[in-house]
Structure 1
């Protein structure tokens, strides 16, 4: 079975900005999905902000192994119910790949629990991306470093939790550096943030960038069944204890009564 992947795109800039439309006439999400579909291990489809429930119904997310997210102009338009739905699926084991300005997206901030803020400058400057963890699966087939001639600068400090792993670090022509490829685990779900992808530059047409995203989807995929039990907080009866015990002292709850949340 291939890795069932949904590429979610905000799909605003492509419709209102001529420069972005000229680079991505069918939308950035479509370009990214096409690159993923070039990998025989991945089957990618798309969803956008404008669709009912943003294209992320409960049924669709239940059938999604990895979700790829790009947003920028209108993070606030994403419905909170959908955000919680995405977070629940990540906790259950769905992989999440967050791209570029998706660092401010509601799902990413919900899962990180921090501001996810950074410095930025839109000057089309050169970005050199260094592979600092060459043995990591996301770096497979990626050179020691590669250059994007025109990109938006993101600079430290990046206010995210300490990552599980740092795979890439970027240097920009203006002098700033940025941790541009980071991983986390939330519940049973693997998360990867990848920095490049400003909409006015052809970043997602770059073969190395596409390779990284392909690798990230493969890495984020969890072949285990959804860990639905992660949401449960059962009240274990005394007579169900693994070792015999005697109940002692007062308590708040009756047998089988749910706890407070």
Structure 2
């Protein structure tokens, strides 16, 4: 059983009627409903809960954390960011969605500004699979289309991804590295671009398939934890 926590600010849905109309129960609930299935146990957490819903106990019982944020990046407590970072380095998977590229946790794990071009014009996005052998691309066609989305364009200020799974083309002409994986410590990170709050992207079956695949990929590998620091020799060392 993979234990997933879907984290969302849950702010837009409370103050913007156009967002509430698309996600009346919150983006987190739409994602949770879309990825729940055999072998996956899902809970949700939001910004305004105590400790942002990410207590030590919750994180200790989370194999993969999914993160959606936008208007409340600065409201996330630095101590919670450090707590999540430590868990990722210890092996917890992290999936960062859409505007989560500017979240504190993504920026600290990337070590860069994570800025990009953007435009909100309800334009077509075509997502191309550029690594068809990757498990995150399992079950997908060569490309799929989202009819209305916010544009993100290059240059995306991130380190070179360890693996590039998807690129996006937009109706206005831009392209974007929209599916990137990274390894940090024992943890695996997947950034996936689609998901602007005013569009019903998280009801799209292919978008949900990507997130489901991402959960399977990002789950802890269950390998032995590395031992660091001063270390006794495994074999006798001949005196010189």
Q: TM-score scaled by structure 1?
A: 0.88
The aligned counterpart of 1:132 is: 130
Matched, 1:211 2:209: yes
Distance 1:34 1:19, change over 3 A: same
Query: Per-residue CA shift, 1:214-243, capped at 9, x if unaligned?
Result: 00000101141683x66xx5344xxx4444
What is the rounded CA distance, in whole Å, between the counterparts of 1:226 and 1:109 in structure 2?
28
Look up the match of 2:28: 29
For residue 9 of structure 2, what is the aligned residue in structure 1? 10
CA distance, structure 1, for counterparts of residue 195 and residue 72 of structure 2? 16
The residue correspondences of 1:62-101 to structure 2 (distance < 5 A) are: 62-101=60-99
In structure 1, the partner of 2:55 is 57
Q: Which has the larger radius of gyration?
A: 1
- Whether the 8 Å CA contact 1:30–1:46 is kept in 2: the answer is yes
Cα distance in 1 for partners of 2:237, 2:113 equals: 47
Deviation at 1:100, TM superposition (A): 0.1
1:167 corresponds to: 165
Runs of 4+ that moved beyond 6 A: none
Counterpart position of 2:194: 196
The question of 1:234 aligning with 2:232 is answered no
How many residue pairs match? The answer is 239
CA distance in 2, matches of 1:186, 1:139: 21
5+ residue gaps, structure 2? none
In 2, the alpha carbon distance for the partners of 1:32 and 1:190 equals 20
Contact preservation (8 Å) 1:7, 1:67: yes
Q: Could you give the per-residue CA deviations for residues 89-108 of structure 1, whole angstroms, max 9, x where no partner exists?
A: 11111000000000000111
Tell me by how many angstroms 1:246 deviates: 7.0
CA distance in structure 1 between the aligned counterparts of 2:180 and 2:74, rounded to whole angstroms: 24
TM-score (norm 2): 0.95
Query: Does the CA contact (< 8 Å) of 1:93 and 1:226 recur in 2?
Result: no
Structure 1: unaligned runs, 5 residues or longer: 248-261
